[in-house]
Amino acid sequence: MRLKLLYLSVTLLAFACSPKSDDTTKIVGQFKENAPQTVRFVRGYYDGSLESNAFVSSFDTTVAVVNGQFEVEIPKYVVMPTDFESGSIHIPILSDGTTITIDPESGTAVSSDENGHHSQYMDFGKRWNDYQAMMAGFDDEEAREKYRNENYGTLIEYTKEVARNNPDNYNGLNALEILHFSSLGQGAESDPEEILSLLNGLSDEMKTSPMSSMMFSELYNIYNGRVNTVEGKTFIDFTVVQDPENPETSTVKFSDYIGRGKYVLVDFWASWCSPCLAEMPNLVNVYNTYHGDRFDMLSVAVMDDVENTLAAAKEHGVVWDQIVNAQQIPGNAYGFNAIPLTILFGPDGTILKRDLRGDQVGAAVKEALGL
């Protein structure tokens, strides 16, 4: 999974009455050439999951461009960014009550307060974009890894500091989302308890606003689940109706397979997930090598169509037990929204290892079996 674009999220609250002047952000800008007749400022939010295309607009205003210039005051609101639009030009701004000068041609939006929320938003985005550009520019893998080792930890700590210092505005929530996606959703870079603590520290408005609550809730569910399923914890049970038309005969529990006296390697996957399919030959090899009285495997299909799951499982040699049609249920229980996720459980259901990939899988199984 690639790191999400820093400016993906959109925004904001409808205002029932005209705001006071000190509750507005003044926006000015000028086109040097090829000026359009109007520009647009839009805010809204996605109603549903992050994958949903249902955009709910809560603020949308069109501003005339006169002699290449435009000027407008919009309500101050820092829960989510506002998008400036002109043709193919899209520039996010954080409406923080300052004066923001937009240069459409260069794609910049500069605040009158270099320490304000909008300036912090721009600085944060630049730090991460510069890092990604540097990483993408290396042809030599050794040089790329050296640069990562020298800079990534500092960038992560900076991102955590942004989250700590901005509990009441988008910068804090954005930083937490970037921390999550920078580790590919697997918690490889951050302590789950630390991230959960930072999420709990966000303001009530950030947690409950229609513009940010979905984003907050998804992260909260992931890290709450992750904290409860770290290595050493006992497995969390869940129930799946594999065929809604025949619930009595198709309902299974995770505990039907886990905590029953065997070591069990569980692979959470989907037929549409390329990294999941790339991992399959390794899993087949692990199963063929270690399957027996002490070890078994289980595949759990998430966010997938049952027919596609079964076809892909057959094609890729999944001959071990399967749970299909689990959808989002395991993700909420075990704190993940990126796959594949592989967890090794002990005979009593204790989580021995999680987030296993590649050679780690066989090594963990071999160690657990004492071979």
The full set of domains in the chain, from first to last, is 21-112 (2.60.40.3390), 120-227 (no CATH), 239-368 (3.40.30.10)
- Cα–Cα distance between 6 and 162 in angstroms, integer? 14
pLDDT at position 154: 93
123 pLDDT more than 80: yes
pLDDT at position 53: 58
37 pLDDT more than 70: yes
The residue with tokens 């002047």 is 21
Name residues whose C-beta falls within 8 Å of residue 253's C-beta, 6 or more positions apart in sequence.
237, 238, 239, 240
Mean pLDDT of 122-136: 95
pLDDT at position 50: 44
362 pLDDT more than 60: yes
- Cα–Cα distance between 223 and 213 in angstroms, integer? 15
Confidence of residue 45 (pLDDT cuts 50, 70, 90): confident
- Please work out, in degrees rounded to the nearest 5, the angle formed at the alpha carbon of residue 184 by the alpha carbons of 178 and 185: 80
- Could you read off the pLDDT of 132-161 as tens digits, one per residue? 999 999 999 999 999 999 999 999 999 999
